[in-house]
Amino acid sequence: MPSKPAASRTSKARVDLGAQPGHRIRRLQQIAVAVFMQETESAAVTPVQFAVLNTLAEQPGIDQRTLARLVSFDTSTIGGVIDRLEARGALTRNLSPDDRRVRLLHLTDDGRELLAAVTPTMTLAQERILEPLSASEKNQFMALMQRVIAHHEDAQRGE
């Protein structure tokens, strides 16, 4: 039996990207990063760098692997983020007294100052991201996102 022409096969495979949750999530992430970068432009800090600075302020002396887990970032890619923040003088890496293969991360005074300077504009960015929603819609949106995230994190851990 002859196969169908390529055009008819592909036309049936088309989907409305705008109706797909993955596409909408990707677009929202792009918007969130763009808004964050607009608000924090003077500090030249990315969302992941902010997460690293904030996490190290809360938990000084953790290692790279722990940091990557806490900020939900790939362990190999977080190294580049740490390199850039170290080059800026925002953090230091020191050998662990218990394991010479492990480097422990600490904010410097410059890193703490950078975090303090960028936090108000980061907060403004978060408000801008959700500004079209009412207060109750914001709460619902955040709760639903957390539910989806928790479900998939549990599935990845095999729970």
- Please determine, for residue 12, whether its predicted confidence score (pLDDT) is greater than 80: no
pTM of the entire predicted model: 0.84
| Structure token digits, residue 112 | 């703490």
Terminal CA-CA length for the chain: 47
Q: Does domain 21-131 have CATH number 3.40.190.10?
A: no
Phi/psi for 61 (5° steps) reads 85, 15
Average pLDDT over residues 111-125: 97
- Please determine, for residue 18, whether its predicted confidence score (pLDDT) is greater than 90: no
**Domain boundaries defined on the chain:** 21-131
* Cross-strand bridge partners of residue 62: 105
CA atoms within 13 A on the CB side of 45: 28
How confident is the model over 59-94, as pLDDT tens digits? Answer: 999 999 999 999 999 988 999 999 999 999 999 998
